[in-house]
A and B are shown apart, each in its own frame.
Chain A
Amino acid sequence: MTVDIRDAFFDRVYEFAAKDKNVVFLSADADAFSLQKFKRDFPDRYINVGVAEQNMVTVATGLALAGKNVFIYAILPFVTMRCYEQIKFNICGMNLPVTIVGVGVGYSFEFDGPSHHGVSDVGIMRMLPEMTLCNPATPLCAASYAQQAYESSTPVCVRLDKGPLRELYSVGDTFSRGMNLVRGGTDLCIVATGREVQRSFELAEILEGKGVTVGILDVHRLKPIDSSAFLSEIAPYERIVTLEENSIIGGLGSAVAEILVDNGVFKPLKRCALPDVQCLKYGKREWLQRQYGFDTETLVTSMEEWMGLSGGTDAK
């Protein structure tokens, strides 16, 4: 089953808005199919603030100070980096129940250039002490974060990919730990987030063909990460790879390295992410990824080299 992750999220927000008139939705001129009925049914609580993200955050601040449960929505870099000062100082400084929803993780907006790429917000959002940062990989996980955000009395940021994503979970699965093991193994654990969790299955199949047993840990909450839960999840594995369509600086790979070092766990770690370069190229998402060594083939090759595997033989 594939569902657009935005619809999974916003359909749940709609349910809360239907029963709680304190739910207010602000959009900086961003849309999603599932928002149409919110607009239609609660027109006074759906406000398109226009292309003005800084004002959207300050208006959300005032609404939250008056007791409203506020969701704000725009393309990911604009709703995080463009108005970072307002988020840092107002929403986090006063620890307000505002949920920041950004669409466009990684190169989702493939033809729109670096302005639209969601590749460097994780590092700065992780630096906000009050922020809960979520990066769901599937529709059910996204819907769960809509609920967690609605119930939260503190700031939440949810990063949403664009388009349909395959469901990896079952109804009834819980997401409160911030991570779920979605595939078991013993040799290598791919610690992935967002859409890359889906690609990890493909990588796991290829590597298993070379005799490596691969587990996949979906880290869907990038902050806070429960260190003890994480360490117990990776305990069975000899090696760890992190995988994210995000800058190599400040993201999941950085967070994992911090946890390992701070806890004296010195397993071999390879961080797979986008390199620290400005992307001024335009093309299909997969093509863009290939330009920066983030395509499946290159990832497999670099993992094999790192593990000392050569040419499909089991040399681990």
Chain B
Amino acid sequence: MTPVAGNALVSHLEHRSRWVRLQVFESTVRAKKGHLGGTFSCTDLLVALYYGGIMRFNPRNPTWKERDRFLIGKGHACLALFHMWVDLGMLDHARLETYGTNGGIGGQLDLSIPGAEHNTGSLGHAIGIGAGLALAAKLDGRHTRTFAMIGDAECDEGAIWESIMFAAEHGLNNLIGIVDRNRLSVTDRVEDDRGSGKLEDKLRACKWECRVIDGHSFDAILGAFSNLDTLDKPLMIIADTVKGKGVSFMENGIKWHHSIPTAEEILVARAELGGAS
């Protein structure tokens, strides 16, 4: 994949990613609730989608009919989206300030949140819902695309594979899946390559186009999301990522699915994320 990004765009995206990670971190330590590891692994991908010119949307009109749709199976990474949506002007900052309080914005997406296209929390649905949205776009003759992000551990859900086959059989070349392959579930390492076979092999066997990239390289991410309008089949971008990316002691640590750092850890992490000490 040839890089399509100019240095300025990459630098802008890197800057946004640092900012998003820091905001996610501060919200998490303030509320003592959040999923830092799996949010940090997909932050660069989310930033590229929303700030890298990949998705077509109108921040002033989040329900614009011609928008691309973004679905996410791993909705527990919502804090990154909340901060991006506030930054883009889609979501009120005051609403985000209620995060973690009784009755406030919670640990998942739902349709009451501007920017959210579906309710999240139950794994294995995003590809199927995405297939329905992509099918509706075809029936209506709309040239919109649907992006659906899932986790690699989530790929154990059998329903995903029903949807994978359906999307290929119906030629849904307007459906783009993204696997945040951070190789960690809540309690274990995800090593499908050693067991049932590589994820990319399975997807290609199901007649999906598959692009495997470094999920923390904006050059690679932007390259993988290029030429989407010339696809002839559904596309899965498998992004190899690091759970806890950006904080050295969290990276690849099984503990950091939903742990909250201690006072000493907060200082170290904040410094590494570029926050004020």
Flag whether B132 is at the interface (Cβ < 8 A): yes
Interface positions, chain A 51-97, Cβ under 8 Å from B, are 52, 54-55, 57-68, 85-86, 89-90, 93-94
The answer to whether B119 touches A93 (Cβ under 8 A) is yes
Determine the interface band of chain A, counting residues with CB < 8 A from chain B.
Answer: 20 to 34
A residues near B170, Cβ cutoff 8 Å: 47
Interface stretch of the complex, out of B53-61, B134-142, B267-275 = B134-142
Contact A66 B119 (CB under 8 A): no
Which of A60, A62, A94 lies in contact with B119, CB distance below 8 A? A94
Determine if B117 is an interface residue (Cβ-Cβ < 8 Å): yes
Contacts of A21 in B (CB 8 A): 139
Knowing A55-B128, A58-B128 are in contact, say whether A66-B166 is a contact too (CB < 8 A).
Answer: no
Count of interface residues, chain B, beta-carbon cutoff 8 Å: 31
- Nearest CB in chain A: distance from B258 CB, A: 20
Indicate if A50 sits at the interface (CB-CB under 8 A).
yes
Are B139 and A45 interface neighbours, CB within 8 A?
A: yes
Task: Mark out the residues of chain A between 195 and 253 whose CB falls within 8 Å of any chain B CB in the assembled complex.
Answer: none
A62 in contact with B162 (CB, 8 Å): no
User: A59 touching B132 by the CB < 8 A rule?
Assistant: yes
Give every chain B residue within 8 A of A86 (Cβ-Cβ): 125, 128, 159
CB pair A61–B132 under 8 Å, yes or no, is: yes
B111 at the interface (CB under 8 A from A): yes
B136–A62 CB distance below 8 A: yes
CB of B133 within 8 Å of the partner chain: yes
A62 and B129: CB pair below 8 A?
Answer: yes
User: B87-127, CB under 8 A of A: which get 1 and which 0?
Assistant: 00000000000000000000000110000011101101101
Cβ contact within 8 Å between B117 and A65? yes
Q: State whether A58 touches B132 (Cβ < 8 A).
A: yes
* Bound Cα distance A58, B132 (Å): 7
Identify which of B124, B131, B140 contacts A62 (C-beta below 8 A). Answer: B131
**Would you call A58 and B121 a contact (CB within 8 A)?**
no
Asked whether A49 is an interface residue with its Cβ less than 8 Å from the other chain, the reply is yes
| Interface contact A58-B119, CB-CB below 8 Å | no
Q: A49-B166, A58-B159 are in contact. Are A89 and B121 (CB under 8 A)?
A: yes
Q: Are A66 and B133 in contact (CB under 8 A)?
A: yes
B245–chain A nearest beta-carbon distance, Å = 29
Compute how far the CA of A61 lies from the CA of B132 in the bound complex, rounded to whole angstroms. 7
B41 within 8 A of partner (CB): no
Interface contacts beyond A58-B132, A62-B132, A66-B132: sample of 19 additional A-B pairs, CB < 8 Å, sorted by A:
A24-B139, A50-B169, A52-B162, A54-B128, A54-B158, A55-B131, A55-B159, A59-B128, A59-B135, A62-B128, A62-B135, A65-B129, A65-B136, A66-B140, A67-B136, A89-B121, A89-B122, A89-B125, A90-B129
